Each structure stands twice: as C-alpha cells, then as structure tokens.
Amino acid sequence: MGPEVPIELVEEDGFDWEAAVREIDLACLKSLNPSSSSSSNKDNVTKPAKRQSTLDRFIARPDHYPPPPDPPVFSDPNFDNDNSPCVGIDPETAKTWIYPVNVPLRDYQFAITKTALFSNTLVALPTGLGKTLIAAVVMYNYFRWFPQGKIVFAAPSRPLVMQQIEACHNIVGIPQEWTIDLTGQTCPSKRASLWKSKRVFFVTPQVLEKDIQSGTCLTNCLVCLVIDEAHRALGNYSYCVVVRELMAVPVQLRILALTATPGSKTQAIQGIIDNLQISTLEYRNESDHDVCPYVHDRKVELIQVPLGKDADEVSKRLLDVIRPYAVRLKNFGVLLNRDYQTLSPHELLMARDKFREAPVPGIPHISHGDVESCFAALITLYHIRKLLSSHGIRPAYEMLEEKLHEGPFARLMSKNEDIRMTKLLMQQRLSNGAPSPKLSKMLEILVDHYKIKDPRTSRVIIFSNFRGSVRDIMDALSSIRDVVKATEFIGQSSGKTLKGQSQKVQQAVLEKFRSGGFNVIVATSIGEEGLDIMEVDLVICFDANVSPLRMIQRMGRTGRKNNGRVVVLACEGSEKNSYMRKQANGQAIKKHMRNGGMNSFNFHPSPRMIPHVYKPEVQHVKFSIEQFIPRGKKLQDEPATETPAFKKKLTPEEMDMLAKYFKPGEEKWRVSLIAFPHFQTLPSKVHKVMHSRQTSILIDAMQHLQETTLTEQSKKFSIKYGTPLAERDELDTGLRVGDDPKDFPSFNDLDVNTSQRKAKQVVESPTSTLETTENDFEASSPRHCYLFSSECASVDTLGKVFVLPVPLSFSSNVPGPDYVGREKILSSPNKFHMDVVPIDSSSKHRQDNVSCKLKEGLLPDCANETLESQSLLKRHSTDVGKGDIENCAGEIMISSDEDDEDLELSPRLTNFIKSGVVPDSPVYDQGVANEANIEDHLNRPPTRLSNELAEEPSTPEKKIHITCTASEFRTPEKEKDLANGTECFAVSPMPEEWRTPLANITNASSSASKDWRLSSGEKSETLRQPRKLKRLRRLGDCSSAVKENNPGIAKTDHVRSRSLGERNIRGKKKIRADNNARIFIDAEAEVSSESEMSVDEKEDLTGDSVEDSFIDDGTMPTANTQAECAKVDMMAVYRRSLLSQSPLPTRFRDVAAASSPSPYSSGLLKTINESRSDSDKSLSSLRTPQTTNNESNKEDTMAATGDFSVAQISTDSRKRKFSLCNSANVPVINLENKFEAHAQATEKESHEGLRSNVGASQYKEEDDDDDDDDAFYATLDFDAMEAQATLLLSKQRSETKTKEDAPVKPHMGNQRTDDGPSFDLGLW
Amino acid sequence: MDANNAFDSDLIHAIFKHIWARRFRERERSDAIDATDAEVALGTSKKNRLASANSNALKLSCELLKSFVSEAVQRAAIIAEAEGIDKIEASHLERILPQLLLDF
C-alpha cells in the first residue's frame, strides 16, 4: 500500500493534488478511527488498485475523493469549491441506475452504458448504432444522482445540438425545464444566467470553451460532459481546450466521448484519448457479434468513371503547364525524381515543408523565392488537376479563373501561354456543355434507384467535397426533376460565386428533407456528420478522394433503418487509387481498436464519481416522455405573457376600457374606414391639422364614385353643400393654397392668379378667363375640376373665379333655370333678374348637383334633375338670387354677396368648400355675367339674338353637316377655326373662338391662338394635358373635316365662319351687333379680364378642356346666356337625341322665332355645344359654338354619350360647363327677358318641351353614364377613358350624323325644335 | 404642447416595443416558412434585431401621436356636435377617420 500511494499521487498529480491531500487526510482519519465508515475503508482498500484500475476499468475504481455526502471539513477553500456544494449525491437514487426500455434493448448499448457510467469512455461505434442513446442514459443517470450537478452535452454544430437535444429528450425524457441549448446565438449574459438556472446543457464546444474561460460556466458543478463527434478533439479544438480547462480547475466529472470514426491513425486516436482524459475505449464495428444484428446491410460500390475525353485533353494541357515547373524543382533537387504526372498536391506540400525546414544545400539563397513560387504554382496546378479529375471541368475552370486573378499564381502564370491555352480549351469545352461523365453516371444511378424505390419514401444524399460541383450536380439534377426533388445543403460561408446557407436555412432544408419535401440533398462535408435521417437508403459520394474517416461518416448517413447503399464515384486513375489506399488504411486502424485498444493506447485514470458505497443496480424503466417542445416556440410565448409596465399605472376603469377594445386574441370592435362613405365626399372639418392632398384626392374620388347616388339622392344635398363649398372654398382655398401650393387645388390662388393674369393679359376674352379658372380647378383635381369647371365660372366672375361658377350655375340651372327663368321671366321680367340671380346661386348649388347630373346626362339629366334641383336651387337661388340680383345691380360686389349667401347656404357641405370656391366665383360671375349680360342684352341681345337666330339656323345645319362629314363634332368649329387658322384648332381652336368672341372674330383667331398657347402652357402644367392634346388633335382632325363644312358656315356667317363656336356665339353677338358684341366683349372682358385668366386656364386645361370649354362657353354664354340656357336644354335634347343638332337648331330657331331670345337660345345651344364639345374637345366646342352649337350638340350628344361612358369626369365637366353656359345664359336671358320676355317665354316653352324629352333621355343617359362613370372611376385611366369616349363619340357621331342629317334639315327651320324632341324620343 | 399634456414617452415606448416585438415574431414565423418553402432565404442579422428608438425620436413620436389623437378627437367632436350629441361615439370617429388618416 505504501508504495502504491506515492504512485497514485504521482498519477493524480497532474489534475488533482488536493484530492490526494484529502486522501491522506482521510487515511489519517481512518487511522484515528479504525471503525470508520465502510466507504472510507473501501477507499483505502481500493486505493491500491488504483494503479491497476487504469487498466482494469471494470474493477471498482478507487475513489480518490470522499463521497460528497461526508466531506470532511477541510480548511482548503478550493477543495470546498471543487467538490462540496454542487456535486452532492442523492443517496436514494444512487442505489440504482436507470436504463430505458422504451426502445428495444441492445446488448452492446447496455454494456457500453454501464461502462460509461463509471469511467471516462470513448465510444467508437459505427454510425447509426445508437450512440446518442448511450449518452442520454448516462446523462439521465447523472442527472438523477446529482441533484445539483450540471450536465453538458457538446456537439460540434448547432444543427447537431438541436438534433441531440431532441433525441435525448425522446430517449430518457429529462424534463425540459432543466434543459437548455446554448449556442453562439445566445448572448453571453443570458448564458450566464442560464448556466445558473438550468442543469442540462446542450452546447457547442466553442460556447462551452468561452463560458468556461469567462467563468460563467459553473465548472465546479459539472458532473458529466458528453462530447459528440469526439474525433474532432485534436489539436486546439475547443473540445481539447475545454477538457484541459476543466482538468486544470480541477473538477471531477464524467467524460463520455462519442464518435463513429475515432481516427484513421493510431496517433490520432491516442491524441483523442489524451486530450479527453479517456480511460476506456469502447469500440464496436459492424462485424462484432453483439452489433451485427442491428447493422443494416450496407453495400458499398465503387464505380469507376472514365475521365472523359474533354477532361483528359485538359488534363494533358495542364501537365504541359506543370512540366517546366516540376522540372525546375527537380533541377533544384527539391523534388524527388518522380513522374510529375503522379504527383499530388499533398506530396508537393510535404516537399515544400521539407524544403522550408531544411533547404537543400547548394541552392543559392536567392533562388529560394524561385523555389517557393514554383511550389505555389505547382500546388495550385495540381489542385486544379485534382478538381478536374474528380469534379469535372467547370470547378477546375472556376478555380483556375479565380487563381489567375489574384496572388502570386497570377503573376507567375499571367504570361504563360500554355495556361492561357488551357483556359481557352476549358472555356470551349464548357460552352459546348461538355457533360461530366460523373454527372451522367450519377444521374443514371439516381434514375435507377428511383425505379426501384418510391421517390416519396426514399431519400438520397449526394456528397461532394467541393461546393462548386454542388451547383453542377444541382443543375444536372434539374433534368430529372419529375422524380427528384433536390436541394443543396451547404455551409454558411458565402464565397464569391456561391452563397452559403444560413443555419436557419440548413435546418429548414433538413426538416423538409425529413418530411419528404425533398428526396435528394446535395451536401458538402457539412452533411457528413451526425445527420440522422432514417430513410436515407442511398448515398452517392461524388468524389472518392476524401479521408476514410469522412468516407465512413458519409456511409453512415445510410443504412440506419433499412438496408443502405453507398455508391462511390471514382475517376479512373489517381482518384481511384488514392481511394483504395485510404480504405486500406482505415481497415488497418480497426485492428488497433479491438479489445478496447488495450494494447495500442495509453489510457488515463478517471474518477468513478459514484462512491463505492453505492453500487447502483440497473433498473429498467419505461419512460413516459412528454412531447418535445422546441425551445423557439417557448420563447415566442414568453413576450406575450409579459405585462407591460404601463398597465400598472392604469385604473381599473381604464383597464376595463382597454379590455373592451383591445381584448387580446379577438377583436370586439374594429374601426371601419368605409362605414361612412358619404362623409368622405366632403372634407371634414379640421381642428388644427389641415387636409392633405391625399385627402382631397380621396374626396374627389369619393365624389366621383357617389355622384350618381348623390345626384339622384340629394340634389338638395348638393345645393346645400354647394353653398358651403363656396364658403369653404374661400377659406379652404387659402388654406389649401398654403397647404398645397403645388396642387392646383388651391383653387383660389391659382384661379385668381391665373385668372387675374390671364385677365390682364387677355382682357378681351372674359370667357377665356373663366375657362382659365376652370382649367385651374380642373388641373387641381378632376373632381374639383368638374366642380370647378362648373364653378369655374364663379371663380372667374369673382376674381375670374366667380365668373365660372355663374355660368356653370346658369348652365346647370339652364334646364331648370330655363324653365324657371323662363317662367319667371315670363311672369315677370323683374323676377327674371331675381331668378337669374337665384339661378346663379342655384346654379352654383346646382352646379355641384348639376355638375354631377350634368356629368351624367349632361343637359338631359340636368334638365330633369336640374328642374328639380333648379326648383330647389331656384329657391335657394331666389334667395341668393335676390342677392345676386342686387349683386348684378351692384355688379361683382353683389356677386360676392351671393357667394356669401351661398356660403351660408351650405355650411354642411364642408366637402363642397372647394366647390364653394366655385360658387363664390359664380356669384361674381353671375354678377359680372349679369352685368355683362345685362349690358349686352340691353344693348345687343335683340340684335344678337336676331343675328344669332339667323346665323344659328344656318350654322346648325352646316355644323350638323360638318359633324356628319367630320368624324368629330368639332369639325364645324374647326371650320371656323380653319377660317381663323387651322393652327388654332389644335391648341387655339378654343382660344380663337374665345378670342374671336371677345375680340372681333378676325382678331379672335390670332388672339385665340395666343390665348390657347398660353392656356396650353398652363395646361401643360395640369395633368390633363394629354387629353387636351388628344382633344386638340381631334379638333385638328375635325378641323379638316370642318374646313370643308366651314366654308359654308363661314360663308353663312363671316364672323361665325371664323370662329363658329365662340365666334358664332360671340360672333353672332358681334356680327349681329358689333356694338353689342363689343359691349359683350367689354363686359366679358371686364368679367373675363379675370375670367379670361380663368378661361385661359380652362383652355389650358383643355386636357380638361371640356370643363374649360364649358367654362368658356359659360363665359360666352354670359353674353348668350339665354341662348346658353336654351342650349343647355338643347344639349340635353341633342344628347338624348342623335338629332341633338336639330334640337339645338330648333331651339335656336325657336329663339330666332322669338327674335331676340332666339339668338340667346342659339347662343345657349352654341354654348351647350361648346360645352359638349369641350367635354369632348373643349376647343372644338368653343370654336363651333354657333355653327358648332348644332354640331357641338350633335357632337356633344355623341361625345356626351361617349364621354359619359368614357368618364364621368368629362360628363361632369360637360354638365358643369353646361351649367356654366346655362348660368351665363341665364343672365343673358334675364337681360333678354327684360328686353324680350316673350321670346324667352317661347324659348322656354320650346326648351321645356325639349327638356322634357331630353330629361327622359337624359335620365337614361345618366344611368348609362353612371355605370360608365363607375367603371371609369374604377379604372381611373383617363387616357383610356378618353380613348373609349372618342370611340363612343365617333360611333355616336356616326349614328347621330345619320340621324341628324335627316332631322337637321327639318330642324333648319324652327321646326327643328319640335323635330328634335320627337327625334329624341324616337331615338331614346 | 407643454409637459403636462405630453404623452408619457415610456408608455409610447412600451407600445412601440410591443408592436415591434409582435412584428418581429411574425417576421420570424414567416421567415421560417420562407426558409422551408425556398431554401434560398438568408437570415440577415439586421432583420433579427428588434427595432429601437432613441429618446428624441420617442419625444417626436409622442408629439405626433398627441397631435394625431387630439385632432381625431376634435374632429370627431365636431361631428358629434353637429349631431347634437355631447359624447363622441365610435361612429363619429369612423366618419372622420379616412380623411384623418390621409392627413397624417
């Protein structure tokens, strides 16, 4: 005993000096107390065996340390730290050890487990034989025995960690609250706390190493360390560091190392044993008697593949490159004289190392660099050659390519002709798609495999050592995609050409591979170790040139549940040879490991851990294991259960409220954004935050969407709203201007500015100004534009802004206003003014309403609706109208008052605020228009009316003809324009017309063109420009047609001939009464000086041209107001009836019959036409007004239908324009009424008749239009809409032309009106 | 405006963090699906980090939220007033909500 003790001490000196000291102390105690516990006796007794125990592991090992339960009180604090606190053993559980019987018992597993429980063991067991079970059982027993002990399972990669934690759980069911996986993803601070709170850790060695070094790992509590894939424990791998650190503490713990491939060399195995302090080697191989029943048959086939002609060629080329370098090295004597063809990179490396260690004497030091570079080049070249043989041309080529771009190799080889040739050759072969013989063989094998096996249950792993060839394999596999669902499984690192897979993706791939989402994975070395997929029954090793260790691991992926098959693809030649050589090596090492390697390896002593007092008996237990819950899911639940800190601050009432609205899981109530669509048509009142542009867009869209319903439902609404709009417009415009300066929405500013500017610029054409304002509005937003267009008149009138609204209102009112106005006019001229004024106001309201209505069926709808709305409007307007009348008297001021009234009228219509701007303008417009109209009417109306009447009849016919002839309605206008100047047509038609009216017709053309240009420029700013252009183009097209017609028209009316539309209106006025016309012009100029701006803008908006034109028309109408009113009705009639022209003429004729009123009516018709044409092509409409009136009516009808169908916008614009026109007309009418109540009455009657007809037709149209509008809104494709509209228009035109032609002639006389209605009825 | 009226930045932060965490979890879930669906997806480290806000950003957020809430209440109040009701109902909020959301 004596002698042995020192030996013992010597042995343990390395790792546990204190233990030895303690033993001595114990011995002393024993000597003092001979009747000491049996344990101590045993300790003493066993000590002698200690030496032998290293060899004889099964003999109870000496317990160097006293059992923790009875630790003597040592003064050494280290000792206490080491052993006492954590490693307390549970005496009850220590009496047994548990072996699970959930899975069939395997003798070798049981035996190994028994061994591993009591000594540090290296388990070398072939893959798939259940190493994990051994580890799990050992861990579980230590878990039982040491209630405070901590157990660590280390696996080299995170996927393996995750795999093992689940596997262990499923074997022995260690409660999950004690287990945790610690990887690099867990932050160190969290790991520290986990180390304290958990007991079973599944870690990566790197994490373990770091935590031990940082001290966060409670090393003194460790009782068991399981090391998976222990063959990695070489050199400075974390495993070795960990064990060294633990031994240095020192700490007693059980080490269990697991591997399938301990090593291919004896030294390697010995290294592992040393590094891991192993005392026992448990080795089994497939042939062992206790293992073989569990080994599935695994057939290994070596398939030799010829190199392939292409590769062979390249290889030879490479050898050509290699030869000179090899020869040089040989000459230096560094390279042994061998055939350079059989050299391998490895041999070269060895030679280089040798050269570095001991340079061959005789080589000058200067040449060392040479030698080094030769070595480097050769190594690279041989590596490429190896790649070439084992993986094919592509990986070799990529390697070469890469190498040629960097480093010394590039420097050395850049001028080498041979390498360049080689590269070219490879490139050539690659471009030819040279299939690698290996790839084709592999595909062959796979297809054969899946002929036998079910692709859904069979799994295949293809291993390739080189990531570049993984891609090649994937590409090749795509050709048999029907049976093979392949994916790649590669490491994380991302190279230059290939992206790595994150661990998350790797896990996902494995998961899918298990579940059958893929049946083939192409893996690099990452897939070699530890993948436990039972269904894998075929492993293809794409390259054979790997170590036998890795080959065994690769093979281990199969044959786990069923018989497996391994196919090794080896290229003939060097690859095959090296494979054979390595396999032979692998066989040799097995011999060393037999019998536990007792004879071959030196083992280390290890603590028994369990005091010999306890002799654990095996207890077979069937575990009931809870379902394993992956940790990630647990984590997800944690945050949800956290109670936010703020909740503590809430009162119970508040909590109740929270619970009411924010009950987790279910939503009791969800705020709806669509609950109140009607409210979205009006801007809501704001507190401090103003509406954004998006909001205005939304409002526009909603208004468009709900126009139909709105118009139908709530004319009153619109009326009411209309007034508020005006108010708000003023207010809002300022705000909006401030908010959205860029947006044209800032109606007031833009309108005012533009209108003012234009007015200043083009004082001559008030209408243009009006249009400009409209244009601005339109530019701002379609919806708004419509509103604005209708309202533009108002705007124009006001600051030019007002002017537009008035015309609009008039126009809108026109149908109704005509009735009312006429009726009223009939009843009392004074009332007419009143009416007119009301009409204005109403028109404003109506404009909103009417705009919608107008849009729908334009005049017809408007007529019906407007009749209703007008009645309402009239009431309002009457109120307002009174103010308006006053305003008229007081001019603009009055109009402003009206606006105010309007504003007051519609407080609700917050949305209409914008429109309100328009209303404001209407008021002004009305005022101005009224003034102008009044003046004009007073001075000119009769003459003009007469002129117009005279002209109109002729023009309508001509226009009709023109329209018929010209595909486009505008042709008549164009004719005029042509007369004025064809150029004007495109952009200037409208302007010309306008100008002509304003200025003399002759002047008008030039001025108009200018205006147009200006307007066009302005319009260009507006979004609608494209439309304008289109319209302009159309106009231009029409103009050509119109030209033909125009001659006649021009002949008929000189003025008209120049600018049929505007000129007709204006021209009529002008021609008929130059004085009147001038007066009108002046008045218009006054009004439109501002309005001109608006008109210009409107014209500019010609994209929106319809509206603009309407506005212009409206302005024009102001002069022709009565005519416009009539026109409005006419428009409706026209639209409804293809004979729309005829209605207009009829009206005109009626007007003419009425004498003075007739001109107005004609003017109205013209305006209507204009408005319609505007909708289609504002320019044309404007131009053609007089002649066009008929034409425009036809066109408008056509266009209206088409436009309506095309886009509500156009219809709206038309309606608005119409309304404007009407409004404009209304004042005129008023004036005229004053002068000629009779004529108006007659007109009204005729209009009414027409209207009634029109109304019916309009309703229909409106309905149609509504539908179209909806569709249009849905699409929101204005261009498309335009295109459609054009198509529809053309169709309608053609129809109308045909129809019109017949009616037109009859209409030529006053009869047309009658005919028109009749036609309308018939048509509709 | 003044400190008394300002939202508790801690509260706002807590709400933010709550949302971030929830979104993070959703993203992780969808990522997992993505990963299984297409083994292409690569987890970027930034994506896996929770969003955060510094104190100034929080202050600003508080201010914005306050103006948002107050505007919403005021607008809803206008609607309620117009209806002659002295209590703001959810329907009032719904009426002004679309435009309110667009205004912010």
Quick: pLDDT tens for A1056-1099. 333 333 433 443 443 444 444 444 444 444 444 444 444 444 44
Q: Where are the alpha helices (DSSP H) in A625-669?
A: 631-641, 652-661
Residue B57 domain-assigned (yes or no): yes
Tokens 């509103």, residue located: A787
* Contact A687/B at CB under 8 A: yes
Which residues in chain A have Cβ-Cβ distances shorter than 8 Å to B42? 499, 501-502, 505
Residue B89 domain-assigned (yes or no): yes
Mean pLDDT across A1254-1278: 44
Q: Which of B40, B78, B99 sits opposite A695 (nearest CB)?
A: B99
pLDDT above 50 for A921: no
Domain extent, residue B66, equals 9-103
pLDDT of residue A1132: 45
Cβ within 8 Å of A, B 46-65: none
Which residues in chain A have Cβ-Cβ distances shorter than 8 Å to B30? none
pLDDT of residue A830: 36
Chain segment A1136-1191, per-residue pLDDT in tens: 444 333 333 334 343 333 333 333 433 344 444 444 433 343 333 333 333 333 34
* Contact B98/A at CB under 8 A: yes
pLDDT of residue A827: 36
pLDDT above 60 for A945: no
Inter-chain touch A646–B103, beta carbons under 8 Å:
no
Mean pLDDT across A358-366: 69
Chain segment A476-515, per-residue pLDDT in tens: 888 877 778 888 888 777 665 567 777 778 878 888 888 8
Of A363-377, A876-890, A939-953, A1232-1246, where does the model show the most confidence?
A363-377
Q: What is the rounded CA–CA span in Å between residue A253 and residue A146?
A: 11
Chain segment A776-812, per-residue pLDDT in tens: 433 333 333 333 333 333 333 333 333 333 333 333 3
Record the tokens describing residue A808, joined without a space: 């609009």
Judge whether A97 and A136 are in contact, CB under 8 Å. Answer: no
Interface probe, candidates A503, A509, A522, A689, chain B, greatest B C-beta count within 10 A: A689
Of A965-979, A1234-1248, B48-62, the least confident: A965-979
Task: Give Rg (Cα) of chain B.
Answer: 19
Tell me which chain B residue has its CA closest to the CA of residue A647.
B11
pLDDT of residue A484: 80
Cβ within 8 Å of A, B 2-31: 8, 10-11, 14-15, 18, 21, 25, 28, 31
Which residues in chain A have Cβ-Cβ distances shorter than 8 Å to B96? 679, 684
A669: distance to nearest CA of chain B, Å? 9
Tokens 């008045």, residue located: A1083
Q: What is the rounded CA–CA span in Å between residue A785 and residue A1215?
A: 12
B99: distance to nearest CA of chain A, Å? 5
Q: What's the N-to-C CA distance of chain A in angstroms?
A: 128
How far from the centroid of its chain's Cα atoms is residue A815's Cα? 50
Inter-chain touch A691–B103, beta carbons under 8 Å:
yes
Record the tokens describing residue A398, joined without a space: 């990529």
Residue B36 domain-assigned (yes or no): yes
pLDDT above 70 for A768: no
Of A149-163, A593-607, A1224-1238, A1269-1283, where does the model show the most confidence?
A149-163
Pairing of strands A564-571, A617-621: unpaired
Inter-chain touch A673–B100, beta carbons under 8 Å:
no
pLDDT of residue A956: 37
Of A966-970, A1094-1098, A1196-1200, B43-47, the least confident: A966-970
Pairing of strands A486-489, A520-523: parallel
Mean pLDDT, chain A, as a whole number? 58
Residue B4 domain-assigned (yes or no): no
Question: What band does A26 get if pLDDT is binned at 50, 70 and 90?
Answer: low
Inter-chain touch A646–B8, beta carbons under 8 Å:
yes
Tokens 């480093």, residue located: A407
Inter-chain touch B75–A687, beta carbons under 8 Å:
yes
A746 vs A474, which has greater pLDDT? A474
Q: What is the rounded CA–CA span in Å between residue A545 and residue A583?
A: 10
Residue B76 domain-assigned (yes or no): yes
* Contact A695/B at CB under 8 A: yes
Q: Complex ipTM, two decimals?
A: 0.75
How many distinct structural domains can be found in chain B? 1
pLDDT of residue A595: 65
pLDDT of residue A1278: 52
3-state class (DSSP) for residue A1211: helix
A1258: nearest Cα among A1153, A1166, A1168: A1168
Interface probe, candidates B22, B26, B37, B39, chain A, greatest A C-beta count within 10 A: B39
Residue B95 domain-assigned (yes or no): yes
* Contact B100/A at CB under 8 A: yes
Q: What is the rounded CA–CA span in Å between residue A1023 and residue A742?
A: 12
pLDDT above 80 for A44: no
pLDDT of residue A1010: 39
Mean pLDDT across A739-753: 39
* Contact B99/A at CB under 8 A: yes
Residue B82 domain-assigned (yes or no): yes
Judge whether A205 and A161 are in contact, CB under 8 Å. Answer: no
pLDDT of residue A90: 81
Question: What band does A383 get if pLDDT is binned at 50, 70 and 90?
Answer: confident
> Between chain A and chain B, how many beta carbons pairs sit less than 8 Å apart?
108
Chain segment B71-100, per-residue pLDDT in tens: 888 888 888 888 888 888 778 888 888 888
pLDDT above 60 for B9: yes
* Contact B90/A at CB under 8 A: yes
Which residues in chain B have Cβ-Cβ distances shorter than 8 Å to A507? 35
Sheet strands (E) in A481-612: 486-489, 520-523, 536-541, 564-571
pLDDT of residue A550: 80
A625: nearest Cα among A145, A178, A174: A174
Position A1040, amino acid: S
pLDDT above 80 for A720: no
Which contacts (CB < 8 Å, 24+ apart) does range A649-658 have? A649/B11
Q: Which of B18, B35, B67 sits opposite A504 (nearest CB)?
A: B35
Interface probe, candidates A510, A680, A684, chain B, greatest B C-beta count within 10 A: A684
Inter-chain touch A676–B102, beta carbons under 8 Å:
no
Residue B2 domain-assigned (yes or no): no
Cβ within 8 Å of B, A 501-530: 501-502, 504-505, 507-509, 511-512, 517
pLDDT > 90 fraction of chain A, expressed in percent and rounded: 0
A816: distance to nearest CA of chain B, Å? 32
Tell me which chain A residue has its CA closest to the CA of residue B103.
A692
Of A87-96, A989-998, A1065-1074, the least confident: A989-998
Mean pLDDT across A541-560: 78
Mean pLDDT across A310-317: 78
Which residues in chain A have Cβ-Cβ distances shorter than 8 Å to B78? 684-685, 687
Q: What is the rounded CA–CA span in Å between residue A1293 and residue A1287?
A: 9
